[in-house]
Structure 1
Amino acid sequence: MIDFSWIIATIVCFTSVIILRPVAVSWGLVDMPDNRKRHVGNIPLIGGLAIYISTLTSVGLFVESSLHVNLMLVSMSLMVFVGALDDKYDLNAKLRLIAQVLIASVLTFGTDVQIYSLGNILGFGEITTGPFSGVITILAIIAGINAFNMTDGIDGLAGTLSLVSLLAISVVITDLKMQVLIGVVSSALLVFLLFNLGIFSKKYKVFMGDAGSMMLGLVVSWLLIVVSQSEVAAVQPTNVLWFIAVPLIDMIAVMYRRVRKGESPLKADREHLHHVFMDIGLNSRQALWFIASISLMFAVIGIIISEYNLPESITFISYLFVFVIYNRLLSLRHKFIKK
């Protein structure tokens, strides 16, 4: 059943890209180059729509309907709709954030799967969230949505980082329905990456757009909560941070530097990790593989930590150490560029 669902997802995603490309051009749903976006030509923003359609089709055919599954699909649908509007009309950041809060609330309060525990991150006992569990869960989902959205700056990056996170989750998750969902999304992602990276032909190149990156952020962040907080929880809360390490650390570090400069944390700029690698001389493909390798290394660390059940306090302190080193290196980026 799982294998066949992957096949259907692959076929539907491939077909959707072919059909939606000319439609996107006529709708004006294309990404045009500017001072931040340095691609050539107007690229259709339909990769996310294709991944969504294939996921909706395969899950609808092969996963038994339940409240959890239905709310997941509803939330994905709403996220894709908001993302597509943002791709078309460039929505105000505050309006986009309000929409994300509402969508995250559907999953948080509809399924009652929330972040009730942060684990024993300080070594003095378990820290529970109590009456703030709903708010913290919504904030965590929003963080995941925007973390992946911010990585969508070079070809293949958001898709590859999402794929790494999904594959890491698939190793530890035990719920069959979620395994099918991960397999379906991963299959569709692989098809998208073939188009996005120009493997088939640069003539058929597409971007996933905000519809895709925000949807993937929603799916990954929700699965991380499920795998660490629900009745089928398989790992400690701190362990899942390693499954999303690169997008999350990069987002927090960039927003921290923006706030220190007195700027809005939601302001768009060229301060992300992929921009740094390209500024020091790597091309986009080299930057992609370098960052993907780092992400894969962190994901493997997370799996090993989960397998050997290492103390949560050590896991958390190690994660904070990585963040401090990362932020320090990025603060020295201009010295590296000069050399």
Structure 2
Amino acid sequence: MELGYIILAMSFVLAFAAVKLLQPVAEWAQLVDKPGGRKQHQGVIPLVGGLAIYASILLTTFLFIEQPIEIRLFLLAGGLIVFMGMVDDRYELSARFRLVGQFLISCIFVYALEVHFHSFGDLFGIGELNPGWLGYPLAVLSIMAAINAMNMMDGMDGLVGSIAMVSFIGLVALFGANGNTTFQYLCMAFIGSTGAFLIFNLWGARKPKRIGKIFMGDSGSMFMGLSLGVLLIYGSQGESAAFSPVTALWFVLLPITDMFTIMYRRVKRGRSPMAPDRTHIHHIILRAGFNAKQTLYIMLCVQGLFVVVGAVLHVYKAPDWFSFLGAIALVVFYQLLMKRSWRFIRWSKRRIFTAA
């Protein structure tokens, strides 16, 4: 485990250094986010967080982690999606182009590495569900769902990075308990590099003499989603699985539920499911009277609760159907909350006003 702490520290240092090196380059390359429309930040912010995290992961992995074919293809596909995200940050690619790119990159894992669904577990109490050949396309769709869920949730400082970090912390524990040190160390590299990014993203200022503020950009959020999707499928399948498929669901339950809920509401209103808006759960909490820091803490508590519940149910060998039923119950509660979000906003504002 000492090597794990070295990887954690080294990935943090490398990501921190990468940000400092990339910040002056970002403005020259026009890889920046400008305020306007839905974007309410002040000043021009470099979009180099994703590139810095990937560079740190790449170097740390090369120096300290074994290089089986899984890791090498992981880094290759990760580099491709970071590049596509950077192009999207610079030129604003169409949703169709992004989906095609995500599909092709996801296929690298599914068809080149055989990362697919062998089993969904006993979700309904009637025996193990084996998807057969459908396990391949369903794995591609699942990875794409994770990519877009994290990308669509990237609407406030620190949110995607913090939520991903909580999931990676849970994966460190589960992979470690299973003896899979390669992927445990990879997750620790993600924790260190994401931690360095969050320092700039949450506490950075726009003054050159201080820590400069940066955003993750589409390159970072899609890389986080791709990494979580692949690691959760890989860790939950096969004879040496570190956890059950339903446990993997708990680790991305919040962003996945938020994404599908928002997409359904957009389609119902006659809009494109990929059209951006300000109706995500964190936007609802902000409109309810909470400030950005309080909203981030609330989202982190929810994500942390989901990860802990999923891990505890796995450790104590709860039946898959019981764990799945709990996840479905939370999804239903989420739908009811979003359907009556205006009541929650009005009640919360009245309560905050009365307390003040």
TM-score, normalising length from structure 2?
Answer: 0.92
Displacement of 1:8 in angstroms is 2.1
Counterpart of 2:80 in 1: which secondary structure? helix
Within the candidate set 113, 116, 119, 2:118 is matched to 116
1:227 partnered with 2:235: yes
Q: TM-score, normalised on structure 1? A: 0.97
- Which residue of the other structure, out of 5, 10, 24, is the alignment partner of 2:7? 5
Superposition pairs of residues 165-314 of structure 1, within 5 angstroms: 165-173=167-175, 174=178, 175-198=180-203, 201-203=205-207, 204-314=212-322
Looking at structure 1, the residues matched to 15 and 168 of structure 2 have their Cα atoms a distance apart, in angstroms, of 18
Work out the CA distance in 2 between the residues paired with 1:187 and 1:70.
20
Of 329-338 and 90-99, deviating more is 329-338
> Cα distance, 1:202 vs. partner?
4.9
Does structure 2 conserve the Cα–Cα contact (< 8 Å) formed by 1:196 and 1:207?
yes
Q: Deviations over 1:27-59 (max 9, x none)?
A: 111111122111111110001110000000000
Q: Residue 286 of structure 1: CA displacement?
A: 1.0
Q: Within 1, Cα distance between the matches of 2:256 and 2:170?
A: 15
- 1:28 counterpart (27, 30, 39): 30
Q: Name the residue aligned to 1:89.
A: 91
Which runs of no fewer than 5 residues in structure 1 stay unpaired? none
After the TM superposition, which segments of 4 or more aligned residues of structure 1 sit over 3 Å from their partners? 200-203
Larger deviation, residues 260-269 vs 12-21: 260-269
CA contact under 8 A between 2:172 and 2:185: conserved in structure 1? no
Residue-by-residue CA offset, 1:50-91 (whole Å, 9 max, x unaligned): 000000000011112211111100110001001001110110
311-320 or 139-148: bigger deviation: 311-320
Q: How many residues align?
A: 338
Give the equivalent residue in structure 2 for 1:75.
77
Question: What CA deviation, in whole Å up to 9, does each residue of 1:247-278 have, x standing for no partner?
Answer: 11111111121122222211111110111111
Give the SS at the match of 2:252: helix
Q: Distance in 1 between matches of 2:39 and 2:184?
A: 35
Please tell me whether the aligned partners of residues 114 and 133 of structure 1 are also in contact (alpha carbons under 8 angstroms).
Answer: yes
CA 1:231 to 1:81, structure 2 compared with 1: closer, same or farther past 3 Å? farther
1:108-127: CA deviation from partner (whole Å, max 9, x where unpaired): 11111211211111111111
Task: Report Cα offsets for 1:271-328 as digits up to 9, x if no partner.
Answer: 1011111111111111101100111011110011001111111111211111111011
Equivalent pair of 1:113/1:225 in contact (CA under 8 Å): yes
1:176 to partner: Cα distance:
1.1
Q: CA deviation at 1:201?
A: 4.2
Q: Secondary structure at the match of 1:264?
A: coil
Aligned-pair RMSD on alpha carbons?
Answer: 1.2
Residue 49 of structure 1: aligned partner: 51
Task: Return the alpha-carbon distance in structure 2 between the equivalents of residues 230 and 217 of structure 1.
Answer: 22
Between stretches 99-108 and 276-285, larger displacement belongs to: 276-285
